[in-house]
Chains A and B, each alone.
Chain A
Amino acid sequence: MAEIRIENLRKEFGAFVAVEDSSFVVRDGEFLALLGPSGCGKTTTLRMIAGLELPTSGRIFLGGEDVTLNRARERDIAFVFQLFALYPHMNVRKNIGFPLVAQGVSKAEIRSRVEETARLLQINNILDRSVSGLAGGDRQRVALGRAIVRRPKCFLMDEPLGTLDAEFRDLMVRELRELHNRIHATTVYVTHDQLEAMAMADKIAVMNHGIIEQFGTPQEIYNRPATMYVADFIGSPPMNFLRFRSSLQKGVRSVSVDGVAIAVPEVHQDMAEGELALGVRPEDIRFSDASALRGAVYGSEYHGTNQIVAVEMGNGLVKARVPADQNFQIGETVGLELNHSKLSLFDCASGRAVASSRYAEAHHG
């Protein structure tokens, strides 16, 4: 196992910049999720680490060794493809053993290592089956088996659960994480599904338009989104933005939205007059008649344990996650109370979060 270090990685396809000067480190044994919408450059980044694409500029280090220009087969990595890429003309056993054949491992050892891997993944009963008849989950396990069997420096996975149905996905998410806990393989996992990323990853890199918007633990990404894009991409429903115009000074502890003063974590940055947004997660909103921040109920979605209530405010819809037993009439006026300690402030022009005491915690953590 090894550390992956990416320095100023850039990839252009003609005039299109797929990945723009990305840098990050995946520590030995860490599970990184590259998260973003399709076309954000996450798969291209993964393919460059694998050696399937050459970067336009920048460097890639695997276990301290510069592998930027090495061929894929010289990098000692394993790749799990979205469609698994199981060789249809080979059975399960041959598929899993295929990388070992390339390394010139003896037949007896291939046999024992394939069987050991199959036991780990609980697929030893299907070793002699053809891969074409396998169910989605088993295909997934065979693909993983082919990756694990050679004990590579790291695992790269490109949306491996993308084609499975929802029920199976949950199961595989759990299995993947358990597997990771057992073998501690450095893993880079590409996905567009925030739930997968949140559930499995030690670190998440949120990508958009070829840029890494934020790199951090799932908690940091969720609680202290660095940009409005991240705040909007993570969470379902995403973070609400209450837009207002104002300037900010260091030490301020309150902002005025629609003429209502709202307490916020202490601001650590001066901002000239401009458009700002107050970010609040749906679960950090409570309904309270005492609050001066008011709006009309627009509709609600029942989710069983709770409900998402949309409230029409002066500057758009705000969604709140509230207990399921509260009843609201459409059009009813309600007061909104925000959990002051968990609010974020964003500069709308740059989209970046404003430094505050809440965000400062991140640097210590």
Chain B
Amino acid sequence: MSSVNSAHSVVEPGAMSKRIAASIVIAYAVITMIPLVWIFMTSFKSPPDSISYPPKIMFQPTLEGYCNLFTTRTRQTSEYIASLGTPTSTCDETTRSRNMVIAGPSNYWPRFKNSLLIAFGSTFLAVSLGTLAAYGFSRFRVPLADDLLFFILSTRMMPPIAVAIPIYLMYRQLGLSDTALGMILLYTAVNVSLAVWLLKGFIDEIPREYEEAAMIDGYTRMQAFFKVVLPQATTGIAATAIFCLIFAWNEYAFAVLLTSGEAQTAPPFIPTIIGEGGQDWPAVAAATTIFLVPILVFTILLRKQLLRGITFGAVRK
């Protein structure tokens, strides 16, 4: 809109500074993207291509990594393989060309499902509890509110893994080791402090008048909370949910320590692929690529809220 000659405009940066800023942003974005692109490329390489030196930029793409990720294979003699008849799928064919046959499905899909259940479950719990607690702290005269809030924050002052051993022992006693419930409770406990603090900020910004108006209009406080406060807190809730989800989704240390079978999540499973059949980097890259998808989709869907969550507190109305 501004038609002012930009030479002396105080709000509009000059053309040169714009160009410099743009190049820095683009350079940064490219540098951050390189590892992701490399992982994506590797997932479509054949195992020899993936470890060739110098690294190959151009290569013949193959689905072998994905095949290997979702299957377990056994080595067979070429006579046996020849006796099998025509391959039933691309994967079958690729596997046979390596003198192997598919023995069954791998554990990746169950591990991935565990990740989904645990990450979304704990996010839902942390955000629900966080919203209620934040509302309480924001609206009521809670005795020792400041101390309680500080205490809640202080649970994040040490790395969670510092309490790994006591939690490991407690979980063994309680029978929570290697259960989805145990992992959901653990991630909820870690995330709830973040959720309370973030959401308290968002709820503080919603004027009390809305609930007061609703209560005068004949609603109970609970009804006012659900009908008036919650709809206005959706931005904050979405931003908080993403933060919680990213933590629970990526968490590795506790997952390694507390899950080994039934409830194992994807992060501790992925490195075990390396051990199974030599250094199968394409399979690892394929696992990682698939693992990135849910967070990517969730983040793209809620990117506006996420941005507001990050810059939260910086802009006041």
Contact = CB atoms under 8 A, between A and B. Distances in A.
A283 to B, nearest CB: 40
B62 interface: no
Interface stretch (A19-27, A72-80, A285-293, A352-360): A72-80
A73 B232 contact: no
B218 A103 contact: yes
Contacts of B81: none
Given A73-B215, A73-B218, A103-B218, A88 B209 contact: no
Contact of B231 (A52, A89, A150): A89
Please report whether the interface of chain A is mostly helix, strand, loop or mixed according to DSSP.
loop
Contacts of A102: 217-219, 223
B22 interface: no
A265 interface: no
Given A85-B207, A99-B218, A102-B219, A79 B232 contact: no
Given A88-B232, A89-B231, A89-B232, A99 B212 contact: no
A98 B217 contact: yes
A24 to B, nearest CB: 21
Choose among B212, B220, B232 the residue with the greatest number of A CB atoms under 10 Å from its CB: B212
A81 to B, nearest CB: 5
B228 A73 contact: no
Contacts of A72: 212, 215-216
B213 A71 contact: no
B232 A85 contact: no
Given A79-B212, A81-B212, A85-B209, A99 B217 contact: yes
Interface string B188-223: 000000000000000000010110111111111001
A222 interface: no
Nearest to B210: A85
A11 interface: no
B215 to A, nearest CB: 5
B216 A51 contact: yes
A78 B223 CA distance: 18
Contacts of B213: 79, 81, 85, 87, 146
Interface in A30-63: 50-52
A50 B216 contact: yes
Nearest to A52: B212
B214 A98 contact: yes
Nearest to B213: A85
A67 interface: no
A77 B214 CA distance: 12
A146 B217 contact: yes
A348 interface: no
| Interface band, chain B | 10 to 19
A83 interface: yes
Nearest to A90: B231
A83 B209 contact: yes
A78 B220 CA distance: 15
B220 A73 contact: yes
Interface string A253-270: 000000000000000000
Contacts of B218: 73, 99, 102-103, 150
A72 B212 CA distance: 8
A52 B214 CA distance: 11
A73 B231 contact: no
Nearest to B218: A102
A51 B228 CA distance: 19
A2 to B, nearest CB: 16
Nearest to B217: A99
A85 B206 CA distance: 10
Nearest to B223: A102
A60 to B, nearest CB: 14
Interface in A85-101: 85, 87-89, 98-99
Contacts of A52: 212, 215-216
B284 to A, nearest CB: 46
Contacts of B210: 85, 87
A146 B213 CA distance: 10
B216 A73 contact: yes
A87 B219 contact: no
A88 B228 CA distance: 9
Interface in B211-245: 212-220, 223, 228, 231-232
Given A52-B216, A75-B216, A77-B216, 10 more contacts: A50-B212, A71-B215, A72-B215, A73-B215, A85-B209, A85-B212, A87-B231, A89-B232, A98-B214, A146-B217
Interface of A: 50-52, 71-73, 75, 77-79, 81-83, 85, 87-89, 98-99, 102-103, 146, 150
20 contacts: A50-B212, A50-B216, A72-B215, A73-B215, A73-B216, A75-B216, A77-B216, A78-B216, A78-B217, A82-B209, A85-B209, A87-B228, A98-B214, A98-B217, A99-B218, A102-B217, A102-B218, A102-B219, A103-B218, A146-B217
